[in-house]
Structure 1
Amino acid sequence: MDFVLIWVDGGDEEWLKEKAKYSGTPVDNAAARFRDWGLLKYWFRGVEQFAPWVDKVHFVTCGHTPAWLNLDHPKINFVRHSEYIPAKYLPTFNSHTIELNLHRIKDLSEEFVYFNDDMFLVAPAKPTDFFRNGLPCDEASMQFLLPKRYNISKSIDGHNMGVLNRNFSKKKSVRKHPFKFFHPAYGLKNNLYTLYTMASPVFSGFKRTHTAQSFLKSTFVDLWEKEPEVLDATCACKFRSFFNVNQYLFRYWQIAQGRFAPVNMHSVRQRFDLDVDDAGDIAKAICERKYKAICINEDENENLDVFENIQKKLVAAFEQILPQKSTFEK
């Protein structure tokens, strides 16, 4: 089993200049979303401490690397965008393009776990937390799409569902795998919600799990064979768009096929949103190791004082559980 991590160095001046050239946005206004939280080394420390069993870490960037990273580490495969993303899509500043082509990474294993750079291991994990009997661990809790600021026709999830329903019959999928769509691990509330959605003849949405995601490489190959035009249209966009599809489509595809092992995702992997959750509570969750994997989803607050205060709390929490340098560091 491999891990895949994508990363952007938001302080790379050359990258910012190139991004500004394609976006038409001045560099000074383009950097806030990509600021460095100084947490990347804790991702690698977490992998070494809590998942020493992983075979390979595919570290994906446009070409830049942190100065402290030991690229000679036997478990690291440093992957540039140009080494796996088709040239016609490059350069890209669209995370969806980076994600939709992950199966093209050389020597990527069939079973892999995908991480954004805001997702961390914070407690000992086992391979069975991510895969069981060759199947990705996941949760098929269904819901209705409830977009807040845009209609369903102009939402990424709306487009994902359109592609999914074009290829799968919800009724047939549920009939074929009833105990995967309804499972005790999901809890009574989620099972009741899924039952409620049965009134809809099509897949109407799934409970979001913005955390480390288990994938089969063959899922990517299958979807590219079935829907090349849709994926090509997204990859052709230099920047993210509401008219894109994204990596969740591959997750939904696996669920519709029944190619997953039912688990309670939120008992192992948890997401925190910095615009909702207090940084102190997140730091506490890190220190108490209540979950094995967490996502710290950043809001786009540009207040420097707020950012620095949150950063200090998070760094202190990670230092408490992962104080020792890993062999991934020089």
Structure 2
Amino acid sequence: MQNIDFVITWVDGNDEEWLNKKNKFDPRSGDRLNTKARYRDWKFLKYWFRSVEQNAPWVHKVVFVTEGHLPEWLNTSCEKLLIVKHSDYIDSKYLPTFNSNVIELNFHRIQGLSDLFVNFNDDMFLNKPVSPSDFFDNQLPRDIGVFSPIVPTRHAIASIVLNNVEIINDYFSSRSILKNHSFKFFRVHYGKHLLKNFCVLPWSKVLGFYDNHIPVSYNKSTFEVIWEKEGELLQEVSSHKFRQSTDLNHWLMRYWQLCTGAFSPRATNFGQYYNLSNEFDNVLQDIRDSRHAVICLNDSDDIDNFEQSRNRLLKEFEEKYPTKSIFER
């Protein structure tokens, strides 16, 4: 098996220097695409590293992407750790950036990044032991080939997802995708989601894809191909210091892999997305029981008693991962 890296992006929302810089450039208040919940620290990061060491000891490198600040406990000399600053791979004319889309769309420029990598956010955790074949099969990213119409909701990222699909429709049709890769889109282990692929059959245009909000496996060459084809548009997005409704995000690369058949089908129950505002007890139970291999714990401005909620989750993580990892001092 070829080397596989895990890429994780992180921001220290309590860093005064970073906050001053952000406030200097931030022209908006109350923008739901750039709320405080996107930057605040749940203090889960060291448990993310512990979960990687315990559940994926085979990983080649953890590529830790940050604006420049580092946790005081991080073992910067760890051989499995590659620390990357935004300035190491993003063109200086786009910096500083507070836009996660810009940070992720330029991943292929990171020096030393393996051709095969998995994109994590810092709210996505390995929840039980996994193997390389859970993420790649003969160098093909593991993923779910399911269409799903985009459902627009106010203050969400549906507009960004729609922008991705607009580009996809310039190059592909749902009928050609299903004709060329039907055995990857019609799989029993997609469960109830398989019905969506039958529902879109009357339309030739791609209506959208099922996004289950878990870590995404990528081949670096996919980024290079799309930058070659849509470089002007991606440069425009890279100039946006904060997330905007006109952005694209890294799911464009994921969709491209699906459309070209450059993926290996994986069951939909491999991972689970949770919203911490209304699924908190389910999150705690999944951590205790390891129901899913990966979980996403999405923050929300609607969470009451943030400190109390954070402490309860930290307690669960400490009980599950009590041993210091090689990534800690």
Q: TM-score, normalised by structure 2?
A: 0.94
Matched, 1:80 2:89: no
* In structure 2, C-alpha distance between the alignment counterparts of 1:127 and 1:196, rounded to whole Å: 33
Give the deviation of 1:144 after TM superposition: 1.1
- Alpha-carbon deviation of 1:33? 3.7
Q: Does 1:327 align with 2:326?
A: yes
- Which of 6-15 and 294-303 deviates more? 294-303
Residue 109 of structure 1 aligns with an amino acid whose one-letter code is S
Residue in structure 2 matching 1:264, options 264, 267, 273: 267
Q: Distance in 2 between matches of 1:110 and 1:125?
A: 20
Amino acid at match of 2:236: A
What CA distance in whole angstroms lies between the structure 1 residues aligned with 2:225 and 2:79?
Answer: 31
> Which segments of 5 or more consecutive residues in structure 1 lack a partner in the other structure?
none
Q: Summarize the alignment of residues 73-152 of structure 1 with structure 2, pairs less than 5 Å apart.
A: 73-149=78-154
SS, match of residue 50 in structure 2 = helix
Give 1:31 deviation, angstroms: 4.7
CA RMSD of aligned residues (A): 1.8
Post-superposition shift, 1:281? 2.0
Q: CA deviation at 1:290?
A: 1.0
Paired residue for 2:182?
Answer: 178
> Matches of residues 269-280 of structure 1 in structure 2 within 5 Å?
269-277=271-279, 279-280=280-281
Matched to 1:107, the amino acid is G
Cα distance per residue 1:203-238 (max 9 Å; x no partner)? 101111211110110000000001112211111111
SS at match of 1:294: strand
Q: Compute the TM-score of the two structures, normalised by the length of structure 1.
A: 0.94
* Secondary structure in structure 1 of the residue aligned to 2:318: helix
**SS of 1:227 mapped into structure 2:** helix
Whether 1:309 aligns to 2:308 is yes
Counterpart in 1 of 2:47?
Answer: 42
Alignment identity in percent?
45
Is the contact made by 1:11 and 1:31 (CA closer than 8 Å) also made in structure 2?
A: no
Q: Which amino acid aligns with 1:226?
A: K
Aligned length: 322
CA distance in 1, matches of 2:5, 2:232: 28
Quote the residue 2:203 is aligned against. Answer: 200
Looking at structure 2, the residues matched to 150 and 300 of structure 1 have their Cα atoms a distance apart, in angstroms, of: 12
SS at match of 1:146: coil
Q: Deviations over 1:80-129 (max 9, x none)?
A: 00001111211101100000000111111111001000011121111111
Structure 2 counterpart of 1:175, which letter? K
1:218 aligns with 2:221: yes
Runs of 4+ in 1 over 3 A off after TM superposition: 29-33
Instruction: Look up the match of 2:301.
Output: 300
Whether the aligned pair in 1 keeps the contact of 2:174 and 2:203 (CA below 8 Å) is no
Are the equivalent residues in 2 in contact too, given 1:89–1:235 (CA < 8 A)?
yes
Aligned in 2, Cα 1:150/1:319: closer, same or farther, shift over 3 Å?
closer
CA distance in 1, matches of 2:156, 2:315: 41
